[in-house]
Structure 1
Amino acid sequence: PLPFWVCESCEEQRCVSSAAEIGLKDDADLHRPYIDAVTIPCAKCGGVMRRIPDVLDTWFDSGSMPFAQRGHPRHGSKEFEETFPADFIAEALDQTRGWFYSLLAISTLLFKQNAYRNVICLGLVVDPKGKKASKSRGNVLDPNYLFDTYGSDAVRWYFYTSTQVGENYRTGDAALKEVVQQLFIPLWNCYSFFVTYARLDEFDPSAPQVPVAERHVLDRWLLSRLAGLVDGVTTGLDRYDANEPARKIQRFVDDLSNWYVRRSRRRFWKSQSDRDKLAAYQTLYETLSTISQLMAPFAPFMSEAMFRNLSQGRSVHLSDFPDALTWHDPEVEASMARARQAVEAGLAARDAVRIKVRQPLASIALPGDPLPEDVAAIVREELNVKKTTFGAAEVQLDTEITEELKLEGLAREVVRLIQDRRKKTGLNVEDRIVTCFEADGLLQRAIEKHADYIKNETLSAAIEHGKGDGCEGEQLLLEGEQIWIGLRRS
């Protein structure tokens, strides 16, 4: 309500500056209809002065927020001066003539400066077809449904990453489901993988660190990528860009899940606790802890759940944002990038001749300069070849499958069948088993020749020929041959 009172008799006007001036307490409700009942005597003629019925645009209240919330200038001046002007303001496009304008106008009139230093002007939420959400159209999404179905973190992440600032958000179930599948499930799987094996091995984060320079090349690559991620996220947020930092985190999680963890699984699986295994644990622990801190402003709930468990109950929101890391290694990153390109080309060559990756091959020749041996070894494992050479004009895959290679390929297929059987019977990842089988011909020879490999890959204490006592199994077909596989706990 406008604070102007006018005398009914002589039309004298008066502007009131405080509640006390009209006999009210500071906490009195000054809104209509209560303020309309307040009258004051006219100092000029003694008549009755009443407030004019007009009210200001509601945005006047919003525009007065920076000083009004502190009570300035009557009190709260110190707090006002410490927080004015605001570092940034974020609202949708419709606020250019609402809150953005009223803040600017009132602050300029009173203080000769703007009320904010930076503006993040967002687009509007529309349906997947680009139409404005409307109850009459039936295209309004219930926020509670979205939170219950996908989680509030996923909803937040969608708005950070789906489109550039200023563009409209085409929001729907499919888009949010994609966010969950592409970021939150892979990240949680990495975290769950670490927690599962760290508990089994009683990993102690406070143990002396293996020097980074002495760690596996995959560790050095991941920590270098992590150092770059911290720099990138910090730089982006410092300039009020939330889009690219969030996208950088998502790309990093993809690398973490589909390259580092997948390529490092055997380092965590192996029974002996050696220096390499400790380095793997320390690398993944540092990575997950740092990601939790980087993600905290974007996805506060999942990052809190992860960080609390990784840090003995400390809140991620009470921890310091990560400082710059010193693990940059451009050479390792460049070599690993080339390795991944080589793997992509090699897999395409395999696919072209329809030879699955589980079938080992003798060699592959790849274009480009030779890779460091520790990186080339990763390429050989990914492509399942015995030898790699470099410098070829194009990818050349040796497709001759000798009997020795065939037997090794069958052994890998048997491992897959045993792992599937483990899942079906509900065995825990740490459970050791006895594997029973019935097969003949090439399958029997493959199992007998590669028994040690099969036992290591499947945690089998023994492999027995025949349907042993207590082995629950099933008859299967593998490469056109019959095989029966059964398991029992060791």
Structure 2
Amino acid sequence: ATRWYMVTAGAPWNPMKFDPNGVRETYAKMFLTMWNVYKFHADYAALDGFDPDAQTVEVGKRSALDRWILSRLHTVAAEYHENFTNWQFHKACRDLEDFIVNDVSNWYVRRSRRRLWDEADSHDKLACQHTLHEVLETVCRLVAPVSPFMVDHIHRNLTGTSVHTANWPLGIPGTLEGATADAWDEDAAQATAELPPQDLALEQTMALVRELAEAGRRIRIDGGRRQRLPCAQGWIVAGPDLSEFHDLLAEELNVEAIRVENDLDRFQRIELAPNFRALAPKARSEVNNVAQAIRSAEDPESLLAAINDGGADVLGVMVEASDVEVKRVEREGFAAQTVEAEGESLHVSLVLDMNDTPALLSKGMARDIVRRVQAKRKDLDLAIEASIDLEIWLSNAPEMMPTDEQWVATETRAAGCVFHGSNDQAPSDAEQFEVDGTIVHFTVN
């Protein structure tokens, strides 16, 4: 961590004041994240008896998520190498750290967890394991020149060999003299490069998907809706075809379904406001009454249509288009945000249905319970495959659907899962938390 901090803290030609807190932050952000990604892969690989040499999956036959992270690995590795050759070590390491933290951990691993939770063997599960193995192996080789110790341990566990005897992912020039020369033999290096295929179009599409996911989080924050409470529907308005990522985006946004909509006006209504500068001279003493009548119109769409059709009589005053200002706002129960597609002058809107139903409230509560129980399993240091007995007490809670109660049991690996009635008393040593006014107690044994 100290070596990585010293490289990333500033350009090598600038003076730097050493900060121990910076080392701690680097350790927590970069190296603990990388170790957790490795442990995630290693734990499930051990459970499944994964052998990277026994059965391979061609990159072209893997999911779009797999192909995306491998393409990002190619792009980041190439830029890392280029920055090293230009003495931009700080930029190279910062970009690689961002890749490990944001692309690999916060997106790829988080979106792939359920693929490895499935106990049955599958092509998709195998593809995910191969992808994680390849990403970790290449990242270890890239990190090794700067921070050699932890990545050597990981690389030895992944491949059985030291990272310091492995080939550079961008290829080798062929001879020791070539490696130490001012300029590499680029043809020889390219011929021996060990990088996955690059797909820049896929990278651009996934960037838009992630922008929409972030827009969805902002919608929830602005609307005061917690992340684990699902929405019935979401709509993508305009933009490129993202149908391949609808399921991924629906899971990330926590909506039941994602659909495409071409007309944003479907989710909007108009509000009329008076333009006092134009209205006051003609309305005179009645200007405030006319203004209030414009604001409180029962059918603003019809009033606006009449105004645009030549004028409308409002309390004896002929109101024209220049006398009003038109605003478009979301219809009640909907919320939207707009993002710009990367590399294109194209705006894409995301609309979420913010209305609640008993089924949605039940699912939301089940997901909050699962999160807390999983955190308790972690505190107890339980093995991934270990079963538990779970008891839950709810107070002032939405009605829990039987399917959601069963889902809680399955997700938490509960051999026995009991939901007690609201009149039952929880034991004094039960864990407790509150969600939107609902008090939840639970015990794990």
Question: Does the alignment reach a TM-score above 0.5?
Answer: yes
Three-state SS of the structure 1 residue aligned to 2:256 is strand
Equivalent of residue 408 in structure 2, options 448, 454, 459: 454
Structure 2 segments unaligned to the other structure (5+ residues):
170-192, 265-337, 339-348
Correspondence 1:350 to 2:220: yes
Displacement of 1:252: 1.0
Q: Distance in 2 between matches of 1:477 and 1:341?
A: 31
Q: 2:21 — aligned with what?
A: 174
Question: Match for residue 363 of structure 1?
Answer: 233
Determine whether 1:163 maps to 2:10.
yes
Match of 1:430 in 2: 385
Secondary structure of the structure 2 residue equivalent to 1:362:
coil
Unaligned 5+ runs, structure 1: 1-153
Label 1:241 to 1:384 Cα distance change in 2 as closer, same or farther (>3 A): same
The separation in 2 between residues aligned to 1:316 and 1:326, in whole angstroms, is 19
Aligned residue identity for 1:340: R
Q: Secondary structure at the match of 2:142?
A: helix
Measured in 1, the distance between the counterparts of 2:146 and 2:432 equals: 49
Quote the Cα distance in structure 1 between the aligned partners of 2:165 and 2:52.
20
After superposition, the C-alpha distances for 1:113-156 in whole angstroms (9 at most, x for unaligned) are: xxxxxxxxxxxxxxxxxxxxxxxxxxxxxxxxxxxxxxxxx221
Aligned to 2:341: none
Residues 328-359 of structure 1 show CA distances to partners (whole Å, capped at 9, x for unaligned) of: 11221111100011111111111001101100
SS at match of 1:170: coil
Question: Conserved in 1, the CA contact under 8 Å of 2:230 and 2:256?
Answer: yes
After the TM superposition, list the runs of 4 or more consecutive aligned residues in structure 1 that deviate by more than 6 angstroms: none
Q: Confirm or deny: 8 A CA contact 2:83 2:92 kept in the other structure.
A: yes
The residue aligned with 1:74 is: none
TM-score by length of 1: 0.63
Give the structure 2 partner of residue 247 of structure 1: 94
Between 394-403 and 235-244, the greater mean CA deviation after superposition: 235-244
1:223 lines up with 2:178 in the alignment: no
| Letter of the 1:297 counterpart | P
Give the Cα–Cα distance (whole angstroms) in 2 for the partners of residues 475 and 376 of structure 1: 35
Q: Is 1:409 matched up with 2:364?
A: yes
Q: Aligned to 2:415, what secondary structure does the other structure show?
A: strand
The 3 A distance-change label for structure 1 pair 252 and 166 is same
Residues 230-258 of structure 1, C-alpha deviations (whole Å, 9 max, x = no match): 22222233344322221221121021111
Q: Determine which of 37, 43, 50 is the counterpart of 1:190.
A: 37
Asked whether the equivalents of residues 364 and 396 of structure 1 are also in contact (C-alpha less than 8 Å), the reply is yes
Alpha-carbon distance in 2 for matches of 1:167, 1:447: 62
Q: How far did residue 368 of structure 1 move?
A: 3.9
Residue 262 (str. 1) matches residue 143 (str. 2): no
Higher Cα Rg, which structure: 1
Q: Secondary structure in 2 aligned to 1:166?
A: coil
User: How far is 1:177 from its partner?
Assistant: 2.0
Higher relative contact order (CA 8 A, sep 6+): 2
In structure 1, how many angstroms separate the alpha carbons of the residues matched to 2:414 and 2:214? 33
Distance 1:202 1:353 in 2: 45
The 1:459/1:337 distance shift into structure 2, 3 A limit, reads same
- Paired residue secondary structure (1:431): coil
> 1:476, 1:325 → 2: CA distance?
47
Q: TM-score, normalised by structure 2?
A: 0.69
| Identical-residue share of aligned pairs (%) | 33
The 1:244/1:477 distance shift into structure 2, 3 A limit, reads closer
| Residue 374 (structure 1) aligned with residue 374 (structure 2) | no
2:140 pairs with 1:292: yes
User: Contact 2:11/2:88 (CA < 8 Å) preserved in 1?
Assistant: no
What CA distance in whole angstroms lies between the structure 2 residues aligned with 1:306 and 1:402? 47
Q: Is 1:480 the equivalent of 2:437?
A: yes
In the aligned structure 1, how far is the partner of 2:135 from the partner of 2:379?
32
Q: Give the match for residue 93 of structure 1.
A: none
